[in-house]
Amino acid sequence: MHWWTSPAEQELMTFLQQQAASKQLALNKAAIRGVPFQEYFTSLRQRIEQHTPPDFAQLSGHRVKPEYLQGLAFPHAKPEWDDWIPLGVQDTAKHQGQWFAVPVSVHAINWLWVNNALWRQMQAPVPDNWQELLAVLQQAKNNGWIGLAISGSNWEISVLFSVLAADVLGADHYRRILIERKTENGDKARLARIFARMRTLQAFIPDNYQQLSPVEAMALMQEGKALMKLQGTWANAALSNAGWQPGRDYECFHFPGTQAMPIFISDLLVSYAGSPASAEERAQLTELLISRDFQQGWSLRSGGIPARVDVEADSYNHCSRQVISDMRQSHMRGTVISFKYAQRQQIEQVMMAHFHTTQSNHDAASALLKVLTTELK
């Protein structure tokens, strides 16, 4: 059961089926389409409650809730997993020190995907910080282009907030405030700065952004109507699948200010004990999913990077090699940031209320602090 339904993602599923078939395992795909995933998780929860769970189901490390983990068949993890998988990714796939999921790949969300034909016309340096980004966006606007393509989906607004938060707060404050929910004096001003930057960027986004889907927003960049698109590294696969080549048709930049702070999402697969698959079949598929060859083939097709750190990067395009190098160095420095929030829905409601209205930055910061200081149930 999965939500990989785009053309590039369908190629992923074909690859998975072929790899499983090589192990004499026949996979039936149950795809649930839709962003921001309510239909998928509703369907998964219903199947769990009705005691008809899928053999394997896709989860994302930032969207793991207790109701999706009922009746799991814990993978037979080997001690080597702790050596192969970086600690940050392990944290998304373990509970109380025990593996509950197989990490398949990792994506970073703090990347800008840039139309190279427009970029060459600008002859601008790659923006390294907030002020340089504004200068690039203003130059694009002066040329009659949309600077930053974005849709009005909760998902894309929360990604924008997160990358701006990483720049404004830095890794330590980001983790403390947004993930650990430990607040202190001065945090309201810090959060207000993030909302102020979101408001500033609204001068450079499509006028009809609320009517756009993420795919339509990406199309604005591809059609030469917008200079750049903020998107996770799966954009690398989508653009490549459309026949675009990095360096020729598009470029990939860190979102300025987040160069040493990759904000990551881990793709996980979990297995359910109450499903028809036998323990042997689960073990066979788990062994396949964690293997070096599978993780390389999967990540080459997904645009992400392998969850394992011992996969050679030579066969990846230059955008993926940048992401791999950045992620591995940042794991060693301890500056990777998980895209996981507690009370994600409530936090996204605050972001959307601010972005879609004229609410003040101060009031938005107050509303977000209220959510962050509310005791979790």
Q: Are the beta carbons of 108 and 61 closer than 8 angstroms?
A: no
- Predicted pLDDT of residue 34: 63
142-187 residue pLDDT tens: 999 999 999 999 989 999 999 999 999 999 999 999 999 999 999 9
Is 111-262+338-372 the same fold as 7-108+265-334? yes
Task: Supply the mean pLDDT for the chain.
Answer: 93
Question: pTM for the whole thing?
Answer: 0.91
- 111-262+338-372 classified as CATH 3.30.450.40: no
- Predicted pLDDT of residue 67: 84
Confidence of residue 36 (pLDDT cuts 50, 70, 90): low
CA 263 – CA 286 distance, rounded (Å): 26
Instruction: Tell me the percentage of the chain whose pLDDT exceeds 90.
Output: 78
Please provide the CATH number assigned to the domain covering 7-108+265-334: 3.40.190.10
Q: Are the beta carbons of 306 and 325 closer than 8 angstroms?
A: no
Say if residue 252's pLDDT is above 80.
Answer: yes
Say if residue 256's pLDDT is above 80.
Answer: yes
Domain ranges of the chain: 7-108+265-334, 111-262+338-372
Q: Are the beta carbons of 162 and 129 closer than 8 angstroms?
A: no
CA 31 – CA 37 distance, rounded (Å): 12
CA 342 → CA 224, 261, 355, 373, distances in Å? 38, 20, 21, 11
Give the closest residue to 294 by CA, choosing from 281, 283, 303, 307. 307
83-101 residue pLDDT tens: 999 988 999 999 889 999 9
Phi-psi category of residue 337: left, alpha or beta, with phi > 0 → left and psi -120 to 50 → alpha: beta
CA 87 → CA 76, 183, 328, distances in Å? 18, 25, 11
